[in-house]
Amino acid sequence: MVKTTDAELSQAKQRWENERAGRPIPTSVRFDESSERVIVEFTNGASFIFPARSLEGMEEATTQQLGEVELLGETGLHWESLDADYSITGLMNGIFGTRAFMDIQRRGGQSRSPAKIAASRANGAKGGRPKKVG
C-alpha cells in the first residue's frame, strides 16, 4: 500500500490550484431562445456558442427542454429531462455526438438527392460558380 504524506498532499493540492488558475473555467451556461444557441461563459471573459439542435438527441427537443441546460462541474453540460451530458472540451472540438452521428452529419452535405441534383443543374445553366481569381 502506498502512503501519502501530508506534505505530498499539500504539494499536490498546490499544483492543482496553480494549473486551475492558468486555464479558463466555465462560470455559467444559458440557452438563448431567439437564436436557439447554447452560450457558455468562462472566467477569462471568453464565450463558446453553439447551435443546440446540432447535438445528437436534441433535434426534436422542445425549447423548454433545451433551456434546462446546466453546468456539470467545471467540465460538462447537462440536460436532466433529456438525460444528456456533453463535455465542454468535446463540444469545443466539434464533437456533437457519437462517431456514427457525426459521420451521418458529415455525409449529409455530400448527399446527391434529386433536389440537390436539380439545383446543381439549374445553377450550371446560369453559368455555374464564378471562377476563382488569383
pLDDT in tens, 85-98: 999 999 998 887 76
pLDDT at 29: 98
Chain mean position to CA 78: 12
pLDDT in tens, 59-77: 899 999 999 999 999 999 9
Say how many C-beta atoms besides its own lie within 10 A of residue 81's C-beta. 11
Whether residue 89 lies inside any domain: the answer is yes
| Cβ pair 62, 36 in contact under 8 A | no
| Burial tier of 65 (Cβ tally within 10 Å: 0-12, 13-18, 19+) | middle
What pTM was estimated for this model as a whole?
Answer: 0.65
Cell 460558380 -> residue: 129
Looking at the chain, the whole-number percentage of residues with pLDDT higher than 90 is: 54
Whether residue 1 lies inside any domain: the answer is no
Whether residue 4 lies inside any domain: the answer is no
Whether residue 37 lies inside any domain: the answer is yes
Residue 60, SS3 per DSSP: coil
Q: Residue 79 belongs to a domain with what CATH number?
A: 3.30.2020.40
If one counts the domains in the chain, the total is 1
Angle at 23 between CA 82 and CA 21, to 5 degrees: 115
Rounded CA gap, 96 and 58, in Å?
10
Q: What is the pLDDT along the chain (134 residues), one digit of tens a residue?
A: 888 899 999 999 999 888 878 788 999 999 999 999 999 999 999 999 999 999 988 989 999 999 999 999 999 999 999 999 999 999 998 887 767 666 766 665 555 667 777 777 787 788 777 777 76
Domain that holds residue 69: 23-123
